[in-house]
Chains A and B, each alone.
Chain A
Amino acid sequence: MRLARISILSGLLLFAMVGTLVAPGPAPSQAAGGTVTVAQGAEPATLDPFQEISRTGYNVTLHIYDPLFMRNDAGKIIPMLATGYKILNPTTWEFILRTGVKFHNGEPFDAAAVKFTLDRALLKDSPSNYLVDGVKDVRIVDPRTVQVTTADPMPLLLPNLMLLGIAPSHYYQAQGASYVATHPVGTGPYRFQSWVKDDRVTLVANHDYWGGVPNIESLVFRLIPDPAARVAAFRSGEADIITDFAPDLVSSIANDPRIKADVTTGTRSINIMLDTSTGPLRDKLVRQALNYAVDKDAIVKNILGGFGTVESTLVPAAYLGFSPLLRPYAYDPAKARALLAQAGYPNGFDIVFQSPRGRYLADAQVSQAVVGYLKAVGVNADLKYYEWGNFVNMYFKHQLGPIFLIGSGSAALDAADALENVSCDVWDSWYCNQGIQAIYVKAKATLDPDRRAALYREIQSLVYDEAPIIFMYTQKGIYGVNTRLNWTPRSDETLWLAKATLK
């Protein structure tokens, strides 16, 4: 008996020891006034501005590095490291640079840094190449003037440059890319302090910042991969801002006055691509039928909790060139059947449908819902899921199709990026219409934003009728924001805290 008691007691002793750690104390202290913690679901793989091109990465790096231009909260382009620009001719831009700016290590900012940055981004094996692809030459005119020549007129150069942080050429070349990846130096409002890999990046305010010292002294970017754990950290006050707030958890914070969910129009557009080169999908009527067959409102309401906007075009509303005139295809299964019959498929047909799983919000459920709607009009879709890495591999090998779900998003906020999916330019393309392509090429070379937007709208009206995709929705961006912070998220999904204040 004593023995059993001893055994149990030693087990209980362990619990007691744990218990002493538990002294219920005050809530884990709110970050001391002056520190704001942002929790994201992923962390940057590297702080090298050329290597890291994910949204979660930019959210960190754009505090350390300044680009030449940025958008303000109203969407207007504002000068950053460049104070202005001139378009000398359709293929030559001249950027006038800000003077008196230094990098965090004291190195002066000048045209050499800009040339170094652009040249490096242009390297074929640089992930940032997509931002400057089309630039032919970068020339230093004088320490505060840089001329950039493009092969063809490139209206997206300016918005694309908003994502390219300017790097210090001497520091970068002296230390090497590997070192810069973990010891970034830029001109930005925040300096790099420390990075505990897979845990958090800590930045401190740059007291010599040309744009004025930020109000918040320190920023911590934490990584909390699990969406529910992220919301838990938000509720407990450990995180002041969270990104990718799971829609089904938004209601869990309804009764807490200290925290709120902010919703933006979003830039992530989900669409179902159709391979129009084979089978029944060659017929426009079939493609339109598929659009009538799916109840997109129901999908947004029930699967996304209402946090989405049904689209009539694959261009999200926040983009330049968005066409507001088109009404989304209505949910009309009878009409879908009629169109299918008219096209010669009164009994529907069989087809393969590929979907990623876990890559986009509720992607698997959305695909399943779509399959259900298609079946109701006689189209039997064989749904296959793929892990994202495999899916991307198949995309690049053009092995996807005839139907697949994919998302797109762009920080340039220009319709060209979205419309590329229905141009002839994408990897042998799943849809190629010469008429639309001609307008697309013209639009891409039109520097004047209003004329470009008009061309984009023309394309969208044609695309709407041609229905080379099943138009689905744009996801709303949901952020959790603690009310002690004066900050609202932006529709272009750029998270920038340099001007934020604490109440």
Chain B
Amino acid sequence: MSESNTPKAAPVLRESATFDRLTIQEIQRAAETGIYDIRGGGTKRKLPHFDDLLLLGASVSRYPLEGYREKCGTDVILGNRFAKKPIHLKIPVTIAGMSFGALSANAKEALGRGATIAGTSTTTGDGGMTPEERGQSQHLVYQYLPSRYGMNPDDLRKADAIEIVLGQGAKPGGGGMLLGMKVTERVAGMRTLPVGVDQRSACRHPDWTGPDDLAIKIAEIREITDWEKPIYVKIGASRPYYDVKLAVKAGADVIVLDGMQGGTAATQEVFIEHVGLPILCVIPQAVQALQEMGMHRKVQLIVSGGIRNGADVAKAMALGADAVAIGTAALIALGDNHPRLDEELKKLGSAAGFYDDWQNGRDPAGITTQDPELSKRLDPVEGGRRLANYLRVLVLEAQTMARACGKSHLHNLDPEDLVALTVESAAMARVPLAGTSWVPGSQY
């Protein structure tokens, strides 16, 4: 037999699952720089999520609602436990806290415009309230963070609600982070920092630690605002069953729980990927805690972390949330990672659909940057229109599915409308595996 007639096949290369190319790249980067990798966004891993759940539509035993005339309500009231002026939103989708500093002023204005058109709220972030956002946002939630950058009573009184932040889903237990290239004169002025420093942020509040002292702090904020405004407590998902009970005992009007899919403007990659909980497992624990205290629907629950479409909204509400918040999705609606930016993103070492170096402040979309030339690219009016469009689609999608389940209000969706496709998602969401009555782990 002649060997020369058989072409030699190229050897098949086998990648290690443990030391894959990504891991090799990261170890070599660490060896070169001596600093942890910092990026924006939320966890990139695949996790049990809303995609693993399905809604059961109407059939013989359950009847659907017609569109248009047969209303499916979407409004929600937040903060009627103690506040004189609870917040009435037209839709149960709010814009999550994102700072001016992390985002450009134009981006904050666009969010305010879009939210107001849609009848919902936006939230300030670590760095304080800008006139642009207060000017545009019909309902503005003012964050009260460990750093207290920009915190002042005049803005407190101008806000419609106050959100005391213990943490966020991307980094429960971590503080804010803003690198020097984004600490411009305006940002530095608002935060009382020298221009260009890498902002170090505290991870604990300076004047209280623990729910017993949080109760006194909530009382203080309520006293300062004459009991008018709802007080939210935002927690990065970690031990939600206990956290929710303690927040209720401390006096929260609304609880915001953020899962690890939730984004951040900048933090250590390891923190994002290895600390936290998927939002799916958080909601049933939180709702159980509220129900045990007789507080479900009395202290409202807003959940966030990977909400992308109306199906996510409907499923989160079916599990018992009163509303959801979007962050990353809102930025994408404004134009983050748009395909037309692909060329420019390639110059930054990334590509459209992959860009997460928001900490560097060179975003060609003009959103996660402080550079004046780049910021100009985001037109706040156009951005607002795009966000309002996206919010409208979220709500229409959710209503369509709710009507198909026979619900005249999104709030009437409940866990019985759901089944799970995998054992993990069934256990986490506490709904049966499709085709069975089995809820794994229900005895725990």
Q: A and B from one assembly?
A: no
